[in-house]
Chain A
Amino acid sequence: MTKIEKLTQAQIDSMPSFRDKWIGIGRDTGKLDLDVAIAATRLAYESADVTPPRFFMFPKGPTEAMKFLSIANKIKLTEADFVKLANESVTALTDTIRAALVAEELTGPVKFEKKWPGFYGQHEAGWLSFYDFFAEHFDISEGSKGLRELAKNAGWVWMFGDLVIICEKPIRVTVNASGDAHNEKMAAIEYNDGTKVYSFNGVSLPEKWVLERDTMDPSEILAETDVDKRAAGIALYGYSRLKHSLNYNIVQGDPETDIGALIEISIPGLAKKGRFLEAMCPRNGPVFLGVPATNPWDDNKPITNAVAAQAFLARLPESAYQHPPIRT
């Protein structure tokens, strides 16, 4: 094989079809075809020169997968048990573990450790699309075929020596116009085992913010330590509604600018009004960053305007503050 120096125009023109194909795979909510998933897994092991696994479990989602691991350790099946169940049917091992899980959950919640999968199945679409392109056009990357087939046919996958856990795909994936996971009313991603991911424009949010949006205390959003989540939460809750709910007052400045405004709001449970620098972020839209009454980097001079608030954020005295000429 010679080195690929250049792509033909036809190959370049085909890239969008690979992109769309793999975005479709990544968002697919179709049913798991057990035989296809098993064959793909075995091929992936063989491609890596590893003896293919003999045993498979098929949880309904990532949470059940982790509970399966917990229960499997607890009920201590022998190798002979595994062999017997595998010979019985393709789902006998899954059914046995699930029955043990159901019985255990009758006595209380099953504790489990979060163990991330070795392979994210359909969610590995990004890099597998690259290999698919070269497999299709140049007949190379045969070694990735098993993983490509598995990604087309499975949710998340935990690969062990002789045992592989293959999750079903999610039952719902909703996205915004940019393709980010997004849903304002329910989980943007949901699995049949109850695993849910709430997301607003690609930012994961607490379930309560979505499901209790109409009744929740918006100061909970402002208490969030992650600024991306805070900004997404404000957008979800409704910017005007948030301002109205918290008795919003501009002390000085213009919140629709880069420098922003020093604002005060009433926060339930806090004796003093909360003071924030509200400014327009090119990425996140309106952002609220807390500021104290005085600037410790400025001999505790009172913060009375937006520039003084910016100086505090930058850990500088107001007199030394320079606003960034470019902000991204």
Chain B
Amino acid sequence: MMNVGAQGELRVYAISALPDNIGDTRPARDKNGAFILAHSEKGHHHVIGGDVDVIEHVENQVIGGQTLAMRTLYAIVKAPTALHQTATQGHADLMLAEGIYAIRADVEFNPFADEIREVQD
């Protein structure tokens, strides 16, 4: 697993093959048909379109008594494309070459609620 870049809270790793038993759940798509990798309440989604397939795998992890639904998105990029954020002043595109990628959102610790959660924007 090699880190190839990050866009906002999303970190992208190149992997040699899809892991076993990740299921076949696809994330939602936006109005242009691009997969939404990270949803934003403001509509500033992180998306990936083009000749690509994406599988969403959620693993429940128990961390310090807290059950966390940790998402990993596996993108099978068949032709070069970009990870894009749908905002007028969004994060710049992150270009991805043909290959297989694991994409994971950062987590953070909220000292006010004493809990870990995925970073939101």
Question: What residues make up the interface of A, taking CB atoms closer than 8 Å to B?
Answer: 178, 180, 201-202, 204, 223, 225-228, 267, 270, 272, 274-275, 281-283, 289-292, 296, 312-315, 322-328
B117 proximity list for chain A (CB < 8 A): 225
Question: What residues make up the interface of B, taking CB atoms closer than 8 Å to A?
Answer: 2-9, 11-12, 41-42, 44, 63-64, 70, 88-94, 104, 106-112, 116-117, 119-121
A324 to B111, CA, bound (A): 26
A327, B5: Cβ atoms closer than 8 Å: yes
Known contacts A226-B41, A283-B89, A326-B94, A290 near B111 by CB under 8 Å: yes
Known contacts A227-B9, A227-B119, A228-B121, A291 near B112 by CB under 8 Å: no
Q: Which of A178, A281, A282, A314 contacts B11 (CB 8 A)?
A: A314
14 interchain pairs (CB within 8 A)?
A223-B110, A228-B121, A267-B111, A283-B8, A283-B89, A290-B111, A291-B109, A292-B109, A313-B106, A313-B108, A313-B119, A314-B11, A325-B3, A327-B6
B7 proximity list for chain A (CB < 8 A): 327-328
Closest-CB distance, A229 to chain B (whole angstroms): 8
A315, B8: Cβ atoms closer than 8 Å: no
B88, A312: Cβ atoms closer than 8 Å: no
A270, B108: Cβ atoms closer than 8 Å: no
A281 proximity list for chain B (CB < 8 A): 8
B93 proximity list for chain A (CB < 8 A): 328
- Scoring B2, B12, B104, B111 by chain A CB atoms within 10 A of each residue's CB, the highest score goes to B111
Closest-CB distance, B90 to chain A (whole angstroms): 7
Closest to B83 in A: A328
A270 to B111, CA, bound (A): 8
**Given pairs A283-B8, A313-B108, A326-B94, 6 additional interface contacts (CB within 8 A):** A180-B88, A227-B119, A274-B111, A291-B108, A291-B109, A323-B3
